């Protein structure tokens, strides 16, 4: 069951990723990216990360992609514009480089680098307390400083976005 779900969702994620790259219309590209993100959220649930899965759908598929679609529709892009590609010869080397890059990653994965020390948060322990509660506890104890810095980051980003998008100050 788990294996079938993994393979189906992996296939959906990769297929929508491919469509994202080769789709001419930016709106469809954004929708394919949403599909990829939702299938990755299902994989998070398979990996027992329920909180991250919910946040993935709310923040990524919800907020960020709505922002993308909003900007795409706001700019009212001409689909034909990309037809005049200044570097058409870049495509084949780009794909070849991508394949080479993937090969390098696979070589790294085949080596014995993936032997870390196992922690204390086993699946049974996480389920006895609850994934969200554990993350909340850690965020407000061990990771309090990064958590607070995150709020400053979001604040600065909001101010920066307003500054950039405003016509005149």
Partner 1 sequence: MITVTHYLVLSAILFTLGVVGVLVRRNAIIIFMCIELMLNAVNLSFVAFAHYLNSMQGQLFVFFTMTVAAAEAAVGLAIIVAVFRNKETVNIDDINIMKW
Report 92-121 residues binding partner 1 (CB under 8 A). 94-95, 97-99, 101-102, 105-106, 109, 114, 116-121
Which residue's CB is nearer to partner 1, number 56 or number 128? 56
CB of 128 to partner 1, least distance (A): 14
Which residue's CB is nearer to partner 1, number 114 or number 128? 114
CB of 29 to partner 1, least distance (A): 5
Distance CA 39, CA 8 (A): 9
Burial 155-164 (b: 16+ CB within 10 A, else e): eeeeeeeeee
90 is a contact residue toward partner 1 (CB under 8 A): yes
Which residue's CB is nearer to partner 1, number 51 or number 128? 51
The binder of partner 1 chosen from 111, 112, 165, 169 (CB under 8 A): 165
Q: Which of residues 21-50 bind partner 1 (CB under 8 A)?
A: 21, 26, 29-30, 33, 36-37, 40, 43-44, 46-49
CB of 114 to partner 1, least distance (A): 7
Q: Which of residues 49-78 bind partner 1 (CB under 8 A)?
A: 49, 51-52, 55-56, 59-60, 63-64, 67-68, 71-72, 74-75, 77
CB of 9 to partner 1, least distance (A): 9
How is the chain classified by DSSP, letter by letter?
-HHHHHHHHHHHHHHHHHHHHH-SSHHHHHHHHHHHHHHHHHHHHHTT-HHHHHHIIIIIIIIIHHHHHHHHHHHT--GGGGGS-S-GGGHHHHHHHHHHHHHHHHHHHHSTT------S--HHHHHHH-HHHHHHHHHHTTTHHHHHHHHHHHHHHHHHHHHHH-S--
């Amino acid at each position: 069951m788990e294996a079938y779900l993994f393979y189906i969702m992996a296939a959906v994620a990769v297929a929508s990723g491919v469509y994202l790259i080769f789709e001419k219309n930016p709106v469809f590209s954004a929708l394919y990216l949403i599909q990829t993100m939702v299938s990755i959220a299902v994989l998070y649930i398979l990996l027992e990360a329920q909180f991250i899965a919910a946040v993935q759908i709310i923040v990524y598929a919800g907020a960020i992609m709505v922002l993308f679609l909003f900007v795409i529709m706001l700019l009212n892009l001409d689909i034909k514009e990309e037809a005049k590609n200044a570097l058409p010869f870049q495509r084949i080397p780009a794909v070849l480089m991508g394949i080479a890059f993937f090969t390098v990653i696979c070589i790294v994965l085949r080596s014995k680098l993936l032997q870390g020390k196992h922690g204390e948060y086993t699946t049974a322990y996480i389920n006895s307390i609850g994934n969200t509660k554990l993350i909340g506890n850690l965020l407000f104890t061990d990771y309090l400083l990064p958590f607070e810095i995150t709020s400053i980051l979001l604040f600065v980003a909001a101010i920066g976005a307003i500054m950039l998008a405003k016509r005149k100050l």
